[in-house]
Structure 1
């Protein structure tokens, strides 16, 4: 059933893309993307935001509060949240509405090739120009960079900032006689030592597939920088290039060393996390959105004092800095030029000014550098340290590949990665298959 759903979604997405490319947006009546201060009065009305976020999450909670505050001074205003938390279903809805030229005032999108087409058609407000005009200059560089297209342009507003760490159980590493890996190449030996002691080395949510895809991104980022995946998706690079081959061979070595738990491909998010938090797995790669489970008294007392983290290890000859790793700012919010007017601008000016303080009060990292995160009363010292790490991150980001590659190539990559780690295919077979998929699907 899940496979059928994905196929249906991909067909709908392909149809939507085809409509876009055949020019359905050509007569959209869109405004100038740089006309960020339109003339006219602010006339309150309902505006809508098509989004893909947890309904009870910090972003929606903060924006609902802010919208209520704005409505108190602007009777008749309302922010209508059109929520579809399931990402594949959201993408289907978003791209179908885009093809029909029926997107609402605000809509969520990653910096995908599809979104870049919308921007090129003049259908998204230039966010760089808007933030500059509003005087909002305290956004974290990495938070903005995550939202940028490959050409450096900015058409999405970040509402989050996360840092992805390798959380580890120091007691289990000591038991196995190993330390924190200094390089990515140290992972297989660490896994073998842990296995020898009967310890699961790394807990992995293989069911959702994107966590394993993170591992595919690591070696190329260190070896060739963020440019490699940009070139790959544009058909200007190959999986057989040194960066891609090194990644395939490294993933294969992780599988041979038994790095992930038995049956990892069918293990879900909650079960993978439970392996780590119960002290059965030594390492767990996840972001700061899980701080409440990993760095508060919600964590099992039996492992609480042993939990720590390290950032993405380097490699010999790395071209990226140790402070540069996966630092996403989540799905961004775009502004529809077709419906942009004085009200939308006025509300955004108010909301984006208020948002960092309101959001940071929930214990989360703000996408700006000036709003201090409120540390929960039940936090361990690790919580504060993990938050403070945000002030020492570099500008280049190990982008999640699932937000970079076209949907068909990405789906094939996720399938092949599982086979590669399981030892069902060789690195050479993986490279051949993926280069064929890229040639077939990449929009060069």
Structure 2
């Protein structure tokens, strides 16, 4: 998903200058200079941004006749325009893109992405990534994840957790909760002291993430597989989503979530937590490096959402190679470098969750804590993906629905009806 500060980056021009060199998978027959055009939306101070910058240096050192042309794009920008851009004659050679049926799955079904299966086998990417991480890299002919063809290569993982201000917890005599009841009690205790407990963004993904996490507290793996992979029927008025909608609306009414958050974006939420205005923020590991570098006024920590066997998470956003890439051979080489131990170790030591690092090479205490927390989730098969993934355009549907819960403009049952419509329409369209 992603995310965080990238959403605040000023929109760049959508179309990149076409890359030079030969077309297709094979290297150029000339010995002249070549260009690898690379797009991603990680900020320079993020763990991934630092790792990819080092990968670019290593790529250029090992390809002296090639220059990397890097262009930073916004996550929201690419979410909305990727199909149009990749259907043009001006595309990057390799780019970071969101995973899931609604994004990579849709583009693969439209023939806009290169089938990376031969390269995944040849270069051993299939051996480096666990089966659970491969789920979002592989798609079937319908564009549904968990298929048999590789269309993306993830090189980091991600998951959600509660970030908390240890100083505010201690000052107000509140203990770190370990159950959902204790978590609710903590929310109530902060509210009674005049403190809104949860930093929130209703205009972007965070509110939808919390909504989905509430559903996951009542869910098991078969429900996730039905909702995300269409392996069964999803009842939008069943106990999982009914609990999510009613509880989220109730938390707003009780003041656990501010009504003003309906119009706030991800960076607004993050900045407010960094400023020490909120005791808690529920979001993903992509914030970890930012908080590690930017939080100066208080001590902070993390814990998994209490009382839930499942949490949002998966392999991270992944590299895809557009079908119209003019330098696919160079794109494969670059992806391969990002999977190397030294790049993975840098990612881990910068606050990311690497997928192929040397565990002994991760030296920073907080980063070890993050990776340990992720390993706990992964080991219990606790990664449950994200709510906007099942259907194209579903991100906007989920965001609008949860905004209505924050604003109180629609009852929970009506919001669930609005979530069910586009989901079921897409299921019928793909023959589910």
**The TM-score by the shorter chain falls in which range?**
0.7 to 0.9
Q: Which residue of structure 2 lines up, in the alignment, with residue 27 of structure 1?
A: none
Larger Rg: 1
2:274 & 2:45 partners in 1: Cα distance?
24
2:234 & 2:120 partners in 1: Cα distance?
34
- Ranges in structure 1 where 5+ consecutive residues have no aligned partner: 1-29, 316-320
Q: 1:5-55 CA deviation, whole Å, 9 max, x = no partner?
A: xxxxxxxxxxxxxxxxxxxxxxxxx98xxxx9x699796622222433335
Q: Which residue of structure 1 lines up, in the alignment, with residue 160 of structure 2?
A: 164
- Ranges in structure 2 where 5+ consecutive residues have no aligned partner: 1-22, 140-144
Q: Which residue of structure 2 lines up, in the alignment, with residue 310 of structure 1?
A: 303
Aligned pairs for 1:218-229 within 5 A: 218-222=213-217, 223-225=219-221, 226-229=224-227
Q: Which residue of structure 2 lines up, in the alignment, with residue 192 of structure 1?
A: 188
Counterpart selection for 1:53 from 42, 65, 68? 42
Aligned pairs for 1:124-273 within 5 A: 124-127=113-116, 129-136=118-125, 137-139=127-129, 142-149=132-139, 150-153=145-148, 154-170=150-166, 172-173=168-169, 179-184=175-180, 186-206=182-202, 208-222=203-217, 223-225=219-221, 226-230=224-228, 236-261=233-258, 263-273=260-270
User: What's the secondary structure of 2:154's corresponding residue?
Assistant: coil
Q: Does 1:352 align with 2:342?
A: no
1:138 & 1:268 partners in 2: Cα distance?
35
Q: 1:349-369 CA deviation, whole Å, 9 max, x = no partner?
A: 445335324434544332324
Contact 1:205 1:264 in 2 (8 A): yes
Please report the TM-score for the alignment, with normalisation by the length of structure 2.
0.75
Q: Which moved more, 1:336-345 or 1:262-271?
A: 336-345
Q: Which residue of structure 2 lines up, in the alignment, with residue 285 of structure 1?
A: 282
Q: Displacement, 1:67?
A: 3.5
Q: 1:112-166 CA deviation, whole Å, 9 max, x = no partner?
A: 3453244346654444542332134333555444444423443211233333220
Q: 1:167-224 CA deviation, whole Å, 9 max, x = no partner?
A: 2235544666654444445544432222112222211123x32100001211333414
1:231 & 1:350 partners in 2: Cα distance?
31
Q: Does 1:91 align with 2:79?
A: yes
Q: Which moved more, 1:90-99 or 1:289-298?
A: 289-298
Aligned pairs for 1:66-77 within 5 A: 66-77=55-66
1:420 & 1:345 partners in 2: Cα distance?
44
Q: 1:86-119 CA deviation, whole Å, 9 max, x = no partner?
A: 2232234421133336543323322334532443
Q: Which moved more, 1:246-255 or 1:69-78?
A: 69-78
Computed over aligned residues only, the root mean square deviation of the Cα atoms, in angstroms, reads 3.7
Distance 1:42 1:166, change over 3 A: farther
Please report the TM-score for the alignment, with normalisation by the length of structure 1.
0.73
How many corresponding residue pairs? 392
Q: Which moved more, 1:57-66 or 1:238-247?
A: 57-66
1:297 & 1:213 partners in 2: Cα distance?
25
User: What's the secondary structure of 1:410's corresponding residue?
Assistant: helix
